[in-house]
């Protein structure tokens, strides 16, 4: 659905909420949940879809019959797809995900192939005149990127994906942007690190040279094409975990000439002051499926830990006591506090306030994918009601 805000952005939720890796499994969930949500939040107007595709589903949707079935579903239900989440390649529910979610990373040719498949699918489905976006892994899991050659390779592979998007644009006129999503413990962890990578590598020699090689453009044209087709997916939860000031981060991207094709609306867990009970409070969220990167602020000094067990061990050793903790766990955006904990909802409200003032991004996507592992007290028996409640909360904040 479009919103009467600067730039008339599109608002949706991300279907990575729903389990399923094959196209058949994904289709069943879309048919089950999308009509229910639409009836509640957009009964009289088309509703946009944030489609999550796995590597297997993207391959299956290259078949004309499968793509036709998806297009028919959209037409029947009054839906349209404007963004794809191509971050998790493999299984994303019901088993250990953690750092495996970044694989294949951008050093692996399979990540490029998968992304290009998603681009072709989105190009076939994107409504006329609309820009499309594809969110993706922020390079790789940081501990696995040890040498400069890895960074250059990542930039070159991303540039190759941008070249594919450029060819789509030249052939069809459809403008699609790759949206790299900074995340704690990744190569591009913060907005500042993302800006540094773009300037040194992607918009630098490694990226521009690959773009020239792939497209035949001269260097100036190649850099212009990179700027047109690659930006950031700005996840508010991730930025909040890193204690970023949203307005400052957006301003830094503006200065660097880096677009935000997708703004993911999400909230993290916040512990205002960690005490002896911090492990007891947070243990219910340490479900063993997702990585819960934790950042603690003690008097302006940040301590970063890869997962909740690491944070618990540091706390047992007496470290981080009295500091503010922020935990990478996507919690319902409409909750300011729960189960003795707080959320970073205030940071999300700051981002939504900026959207009321000017266009931050054309695509707004709510991404609370953790419903299946959240404590039962935070969940409604009917998932579609929780999804609709999040959309309604965001829409109300944007109309404030």
Say what the pLDDT of residue 27 is: 93
| Tokens 């699609």 sit on residue | 176
Average pLDDT over residues 93-112: 93
Q: What is the pLDDT of residues 271-309, one digit of tens each?
A: 999 999 999 999 999 999 999 999 999 999 999 999 999
For tokens 């994918």, name the residue: 369
Q: Which residues contact 224 (CB under 8 A, 6 or more apart)?
A: none
Q: Across residues 90-111, what is the average pLDDT?
A: 92
| Two structure tokens written together for 303 | 């301590």
| Strands lying side by side in the sheet with 132-136 | 10-13, 363-366, 262-265, 230-235, 176-180, 132-136, 79-85, 47-52
For residue 352, what are the contacts with CB-CB under 8 A and spacing of at least 6? Answer: 265, 394, 397, 398
pLDDT score recorded for residue 143: 95
pLDDT of residue 359: 96
> How would you label 28-53 residue by residue, b for 16+ Cβ within 10 Å and e otherwise?
ebbeebbbebbeebbeeebbbbbbbb
Encode 206-265 in three state secondary structure.
Answer: HHHHHHHHHHCCCHHHHHHHHHHHEEEEEEHHHHHHCCCCHHHHHHHHHHHCCCCCEEEE
pLDDT at 116: 98
Say if residue 56's pLDDT is above 90. yes
pLDDT of 303-346, one tens digit each? 999 999 999 999 999 889 899 999 999 999 999 998 899 999 99
**Which residue, among 173, 153, 156, 160, has the nearest Cα to 214 in the 3D structure?**
160
* pLDDT value at residue 193: 98
Mean pLDDT of 238-254: 98
Q: Where along the chain do its domains lie?
A: 10-267+344-398
pLDDT digits (tens, 9 = 90+) for 140-168: 999 999 899 999 999 999 999 999 999 99
Closest to 142 (Cα-Cα) out of 186, 172, 104: 186
Q: Model confidence over 68-85: pLDDT tens digits?
A: 999 999 999 999 999 999
pLDDT band, very low/low/confident/very high, at 125 (cuts 50, 70, 90): very high
Residue closest to 74 by CA, chosen among 110, 44, 48, 40: 48
User: Is it the case that residue 373 has pLDDT exceeding 80?
Assistant: no
Q: Which of 203-207, 222-226, 345-349, 381-385 has the lowest mean pLDDT?
A: 381-385
pLDDT of 381 above 80:
no
The model's pLDDT over 24-39, given as tens digits with 9 standing for 90+, comes to: 999 999 999 999 999 9
Q: Which positions ≥6 away from 272 have C-beta within 8 Å?
A: 324, 342
Pairing mode, if any, of strands 176-180 and 132-136? parallel
pLDDT band at 92 (very low <50, low <70, confident <90, very high): confident
Q: Tell me if 140 sits within 8 A of 186, measured CB to CB.
A: yes
In which band, very low, low, confident or very high, does the pLDDT at 19 lie, cut at 50, 70 and 90?
confident
Q: Answer left, alpha or beta for residue 41, where phi above 0 means left and psi between -120 and 50 means alpha.
A: alpha
pLDDT at residue number 111: 98
Q: What is the distance between the alpha carbons of residues 135 and 234, in angstroms, rounded to a whole number?
A: 10
C-alpha–C-alpha distance, residues 185 and 22, integer Å: 29
pLDDT value for 370: 82
Q: At what angle do helices 148-172 and 109-125 cross, to 10 degrees?
A: 20
62 touches 117 (CB < 8 A): yes
User: In the predicted model, is pLDDT for residue 260 greater than 80?
Assistant: yes
pLDDT at residue 20 greater than cutoff 90 = no
pTM tops 0.85: yes
pLDDT tens for each residue of 170-195: 999 999 999 999 999 999 999 999 99
**Cα 126 from Cα 66, distance rounded (Å):** 16
Residue 321: partners with Cβ closer than 8 Å, 6 or more residues away: 274, 275, 276, 315
Question: Which CATH code of 3.30.2320.50, 3.30.540.10, 3.40.190.10, 3.20.20.150 fits the domain covering 10-267+344-398?
Answer: 3.20.20.150
């Amino acid at each position: 659905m479009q919103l009467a805000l600067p730039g008339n952005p599109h608002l949706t939720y991300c279907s990575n909420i729903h389990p399923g890796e094959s196209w058949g499994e994904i289709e069943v969930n879309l048919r089950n949940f999308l009509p229910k949500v639409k009836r509640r939040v957009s009964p009289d107007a088309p509703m946009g879809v944030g489609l999550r595709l796995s590597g297997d589903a993207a391959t299956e949707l290259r078949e004309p019959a499968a793509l036709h079935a998806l297009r028919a579903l959209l037409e029947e239900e009054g839906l349209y797809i404007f963004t794809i989440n191509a971050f998790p390649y493999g299984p994303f529910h019901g088993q250990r995900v953690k750092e495996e979610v970044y694989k294949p990373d951008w050093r692996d040719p399979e990540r490029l192939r998968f992304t290009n498949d998603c681009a072709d699918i989105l190009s076939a489905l994107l409504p006329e005149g609309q820009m499309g976006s594809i969110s993706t892994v922020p390079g790789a899991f940081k501990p696995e990127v040890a040498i400069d050659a890895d960074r250059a390779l990542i930039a070159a592979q991303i540039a190759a994906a941008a070249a594919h998007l450029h060819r789509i644009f030249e052939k069809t006129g459809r403008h699609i942007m790759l949206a790299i999503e900074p995340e704690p413990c990744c190569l591009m962890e913060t907005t500042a690190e993302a800006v540094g990578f773009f300037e040194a590598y992607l918009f630098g020699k490694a990226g521009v040279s690959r773009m020239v090689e792939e497209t035949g453009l001269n260097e100036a044209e190649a850099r212009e094409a990179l700027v047109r087709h690659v930006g950031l997916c700005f996840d508010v939860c991730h930025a909040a975990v890193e204690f970023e000031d949203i307005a400052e981060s957006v301003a830094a991207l503006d200065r660097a000439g880096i677009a935000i094709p997708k703004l993911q609306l999400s909230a993290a867990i916040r512990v205002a002051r960690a005490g002896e009970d911090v492990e007891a409070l947070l243990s219910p969220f340490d479900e063993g499926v997702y990585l819960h990167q934790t950042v603690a602020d003690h008097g302006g000094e940040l301590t970063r830990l890869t997962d909740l067990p690491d944070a618990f061990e540091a706390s047992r050793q007496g470290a981080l006591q009295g500091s503010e903790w922020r935990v990478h766990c996507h919690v319902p955006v409409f909750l300011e506090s729960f189960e003795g904990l707080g959320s970073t909802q205030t940071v999300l409200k700051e981002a939504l306030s900026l959207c009321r003032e000017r266009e931050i991004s054309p695509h707004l996507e709510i991404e609370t994918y953790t419903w299946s592992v959240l404590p039962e007290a935070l969940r409604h028996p009917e998932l579609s009601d929780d999804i609709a409640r999040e959309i309604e909360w965001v829409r109300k904040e944007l109309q404030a």
